[in-house]
Structure 1
Amino acid sequence: MQSYELMELILKVYIYPDGDKPIFHEPHLDGIYASEGWFMKFMEANREFVTRDPEKAHLFYLPYSSRQLQHALYVPDSHNLRPLSEFVRDYANMIAAKYPFWNRTHARDHFLVACHDWGPYTLTLHEELTKNTIKALCNADLSQGIFTLGQDISLPETAIRTPRRPLRNIGGGIRVSQRPILAFFAGNMHGPLRPILLDWWHNKDEDMRIYGPLPIEVSRKMTYVQHMKSSKYCICPRGYNVNSPRIVEAIYYECIPVIISDNFVLPLNDVLDWNAFSVVVAEEDIPKLKEILMAIPLRRYLTMLANLKMVQKHFLWNARPLRYDLFHMILYSIWQSRLNQIEI
């Protein structure tokens, strides 16, 4: 609380004005990569934290969109990310040459926010950008050697379907005693893990509603959102990468997330105790999934559900930022990371 209030009192951020749209200064507000866009939207419109005088800044924001970068520069089906990496490298070199602030700390007080799966890989051609900047990444994978624990921020991946109504359908509304489903998952077969989940649990147990894409005959009776709101636990397996928008969806719909993703740094883990409102299952324990969930006492489940409702406000993109919402929590985590670097 004291650190958060100190942030509100003194933090100043300088946003580099350089760069042309759409890669810079043009937030994309829908889809599963919307987190970076909503943060950019609110950061660039902010009057409380933003300063036009870089000499007064504690942090420097690199306002580019990894999602827009992919749309602008990636050649479909080429499997070649080098043009994206070269673009980001050249941008960092331009900032370092044009302004004195990058070299003053070797970019340790600079930060970026990237939610696209490729975000981390577009940084690799610039050593200081990779090692020194504070990176808020949805693809927070410890096994790749790009995300640094204690320095970088795991950015929640939020699937926004209607930018004009980002909070649509949020809330549970169904009592625990009236939730007929123990665990639910539906989604495409991205990556090697989800087929394993289906092999073990699809059509194997009435309590475990595990699907690939939700079948039409099923969705006609109960939509995807209704399934989540009717389930005690929502299964959130990794896809090709460690992150999944289902984690935040489960929080939105008041369904305890069951996270299956080895090497994933959980979002805002520097602030939130995920053991209090979620279940983490090792990938190798998929065969034991029902056993693990059934072993959780009702009292503990109810406590987790109450905690989940308490932390829900930290994952919301409000029409205008509110204290302790997702915009503020991301900024707070970046602020904390910078303070920790100074103390070290």
Structure 2
Amino acid sequence: MRIITRFHHSDIRRLLLGIIVIAGFVVLLVQCFGIPCRNSFCLSPIKVSVIELTNSNVTQVSVMNYTNLSDDDDEELENKKEDLDSENDVVISKEKVEMNVSFIAIGNISLRNPKMVVVSSESESDPNSVMIRVKDSRKGNVLSLRRHKQGSAISISQMNSLLIQSLSSFKSPKPRWSSARDSEMLSARSEIEKVSLVHDFLGLNPLVYRNISKFLRSYDLMERKLKIYVYKEGGKPIFHTPMPRGIYASEGWFMKLMESNKKFVVKDPRKAHLFYIPISIKALRSSLGLDFQTPKSLADHLKEYVDLIAGKYKFWNRTGGADHFLVACHDWGNKLTTKTMKNSVRSLCNSNVAQGFRIGTDTALPVTYIRSSEAPLEYLGGKTSSERKILAFFAGSMHGYLRLILVKLWENKEPDMKIFGPMPRDPKSKKQYREYMKSSRYCICARGYEVHTPRVVEAIINECVPVIIADNYVPPFFEVLNWEEFAVFVEEKDIPNLRNILLSIPDDRYIGMQARVKAVQQHFLWHKKPVKFDQFHMILHSIWYSRVHRIKTR
């Protein structure tokens, strides 16, 4: 009887092993040999932005979904295998452009190693849409799509208006019961709004702030009153595991310094004004395996955590999460938290106002590319304004549609415009990159796959005036800083006129802007032990400021 049982179990094991091998072979065929597949069996779709380039302007006209198995995010080497969600872009002229990719899959159409020709034309039946045709010149397969053009960009002045409107109109949901902490925050808001003009700026330059008197009073109240409870729930590495290196370092440094903080953190949640969810969206993306690679599955995982703390504690349910916050720098931080944390304060690097970022509620998180967690202030500083002989500098990987256009239009066009594609990664080239930043008047901060880029902070660290080319991007600490005093904003459609825009800025205006870059620099620095007005405190202040101005009582 025992022999029969063992034989039976052995057969089952062999059968299961055979099923696994066959399934793996089928997946291999689908991904490597171009067998038509349904979307659910292909890798996550990647956006392909189609651009129309004319002599006078650049207009984004369409977005299509493809899967490109050859795409790598080489802006951070350690993330190469992780970021299959990154967008891969095709740029087309008024007629056509050819592009080689290793594999494309959409619906039931799959092309292996195609020579792809993309042709764009206005739709005769609908002037607000564009017809896109993708042709495999080897096989003759043609895919035609119609997509609507995107709306116009939201300018920095419009964002300023949205901020004023949000601070005066939008409030959090009414709490289910009152709290002494709410009264304390209401009192703080009253003090901020009624503040008189201050004369001691504590060494700060008042021109870089919207209202330095309100900022200093708000910051002082935060330092004296704010208390935060950090949830202990959640397993590593998704929770409680700071990652202080790379392009997502902001969320890692904040988590590290917040969880070890003794000034703001309290052990008794009843004493807290705010509640911190110590999650790493970067770790969430990479730690759950292939079964959790869609935005919905990852958002569901976050919801399970929120349900856990809502069931264990009373605080989430009291305000609907309005007094809770998270800090997320990964591209997916916005989309994964839109529903679950719709009432909460979200500090996000991907601060795209056209894709759900809420000015006045959410806060814009700086993207800081930290190469060494032991030396976060490495390479700080730059040349004086009179020593900067290069008008503008950019170098970087061709991520997204915009950089391709920038390089196409300006590489090797003018001697004072140092515009390049990706530079080599050897030590000599890295040093050259830093020297260009430290020797240029303006540093071009062109969006990549998403609107945010570490070049904004890189420019400030190197005391170079940032030129931000990213429509709908809300810059960091927007509710406090007057960005137009130390940065230049250029709409994407104006890239062909970039040099004229920069040359039109008077010398005295540039000298003042460069001085104000140096003045604001302290707000974008990480320290192993936080110091007054550094990036840790500024992130915390943005979250505090949002909650103070949105709080509502019974």
TM-score for the superposition, normalised by structure 1? 0.95
1:187 partnered with 2:405: no
Q: Return the offset for 1:248.
A: 0.2
Question: Please, which of 40, 60, 82 is the counterpart of residue 275 of structure 2?
Answer: 60
Q: Which amino acid aligns with 1:89?
A: K
Partner of 2:250: 35
Alignment check: 8 A CA contact 1:268 1:329 kept? yes
Partner of 2:149: none
Q: Map 1:110-125 to 2 at 5 A.
A: 110-125=324-339
Alignment check: 8 A CA contact 2:424 2:430 kept? no
Q: Which amino acid aligns with 1:144?
A: Q
Q: Which amino acid aligns with 1:307?
A: R
Partner of 1:89: 303
Partner of 2:345: 134
Q: Return the offset for 1:185.
A: 0.4
Partner of 1:205: 414
Change in Cα spacing, 1:300 to 1:343, as seen in structure 2 (3 Å) is farther
Matched residue SS, 1:48: coil
Q: Return the offset for 1:68.
A: 1.1
Tell me, in whole angstroms, the C-alpha distance in 2 between the residues paired with 1:327 and 1:125. Answer: 27
Tell me, in whole angstroms, the C-alpha distance in 2 between the residues paired with 1:144 and 1:325. Answer: 29
1:274 partnered with 2:471: no
Matched residue SS, 1:194: helix
Alignment check: 8 A CA contact 1:59 1:111 kept? yes
Matched residue SS, 1:29: coil
Change in Cα spacing, 1:204 to 1:222, as seen in structure 2 (3 Å) is farther
Change in Cα spacing, 1:167 to 1:221, as seen in structure 2 (3 Å) is closer
Question: Please, which of 226, 233, 249 is the counterpart of residue 11 of structure 1?
Answer: 226
Q: Which amino acid aligns with 1:133?
A: S
Change in Cα spacing, 1:114 to 1:217, as seen in structure 2 (3 Å) is closer
Question: Please, which of 220, 238, 259 is the counterpart of residue 44 of structure 1?
Answer: 259
Q: Return the offset for 1:177.
A: 2.5
Matched residue SS, 1:223: helix
Alignment check: 8 A CA contact 2:285 2:293 kept? no
Deviates more, 1:334-343 or 1:254-263: 334-343
Q: Which amino acid aligns with 1:168?
A: E
Q: Which amino acid aligns with 1:134?
A: V
Change in Cα spacing, 1:221 to 1:138, as seen in structure 2 (3 Å) is closer
Question: Please, which of 161, 166, 190 is the counterpart of residue 376 of structure 2?
Answer: 166
Q: Return the offset for 1:89.
A: 1.2
Structure exhibiting the larger radius of gyration computed from Cα positions: 2
Matched residue SS, 1:94: helix
Q: Which amino acid aligns with 2:482?
A: D
Tell me, in whole angstroms, the C-alpha distance in 1 between the residues paired with 2:398 and 2:293. Answer: 20
Matched residue SS, 1:244: coil
Q: What does the per-residue CA deviation read over 1:129-172, in whole Å, with 9 as the maximum and x for residues that have no partner?
A: 1x201000000111112x11110000000000010000000111
Which of the pair is proportionally richer in strand? 2
Stretches of structure 1 that go unaligned for 5 or more consecutive residues are none
Tell me, in whole angstroms, the C-alpha distance in 2 between the residues paired with 1:221 and 1:177. Answer: 24
Partner of 2:359: 149
Stretches of structure 2 that go unaligned for 5 or more consecutive residues are 1-215
Tell me, in whole angstroms, the C-alpha distance in 1 between the residues paired with 2:290 and 2:505. Answer: 48
Q: What does the per-residue CA deviation read over 1:226-250, in whole Å, with 9 as the maximum and x for residues that have no partner?
A: 1100111000011110100000000
Q: Which amino acid aligns with 1:117?
A: D
Partner of 1:107: 321
Alignment check: 8 A CA contact 2:353 2:474 kept? yes
Matched pairs, number: 338
Q: Return the offset for 1:98.
A: 1.2
Q: Return the offset for 1:325.
A: 0.3
Partner of 1:175: 384
Change in Cα spacing, 1:58 to 1:186, as seen in structure 2 (3 Å) is same
Q: Return the offset for 1:199.
A: 1.2
Question: Please, which of 267, 270, 294 is the counterpart of residue 80 of structure 1?
Answer: 294
Partner of 1:320: 529
TM-score for the superposition, normalised by structure 2? 0.59
Tell me, in whole angstroms, the C-alpha distance in 2 between the residues paired with 1:342 and 1:104. Answer: 13
Alignment check: 8 A CA contact 1:247 1:257 kept? yes
Matched residue SS, 2:551: helix
Q: Which amino acid aligns with 1:195?
A: L
Change in Cα spacing, 1:219 to 1:111, as seen in structure 2 (3 Å) is same
Matched residue SS, 1:234: strand
Alignment check: 8 A CA contact 2:452 2:473 kept? yes
Matched residue SS, 2:290: coil
Change in Cα spacing, 1:220 to 1:46, as seen in structure 2 (3 Å) is closer
Alignment check: 8 A CA contact 2:399 2:449 kept? yes
Q: Give the root-mean-square deviation of aligned CA atoms.
A: 1.8
Tell me, in whole angstroms, the C-alpha distance in 2 between the residues paired with 1:42 and 1:218. Answer: 31
Matched residue SS, 1:204: coil
Alignment check: 8 A CA contact 1:74 1:80 kept? no
Alignment check: 8 A CA contact 2:385 2:514 kept? no
Alignment check: 8 A CA contact 1:29 1:38 kept? yes
Q: Which amino acid aligns with 1:3?
A: S
Tell me, in whole angstroms, the C-alpha distance in 1 between the residues paired with 2:466 and 2:240. Answer: 33
Tell me, in whole angstroms, the C-alpha distance in 2 between the residues paired with 1:219 and 1:181. Answer: 19
Q: What does the per-residue CA deviation read over 1:320-343, in whole Å, with 9 as the maximum and x for residues that have no partner?
A: 100100000000110010011126
Q: Which amino acid aligns with 1:55?
A: R
Q: What does the per-residue CA deviation read over 1:61-108, in whole Å, with 9 as the maximum and x for residues that have no partner?
A: 0001111111202539x9623321111111111111111000101110
Q: Which amino acid aligns with 2:301?
A: F
Q: What does the per-residue CA deviation read over 1:208-237, in whole Å, with 9 as the maximum and x for residues that have no partner?
A: 111110258995596111110011100001
Tell me, in whole angstroms, the C-alpha distance in 2 between the residues paired with 1:278 and 1:219. Answer: 29
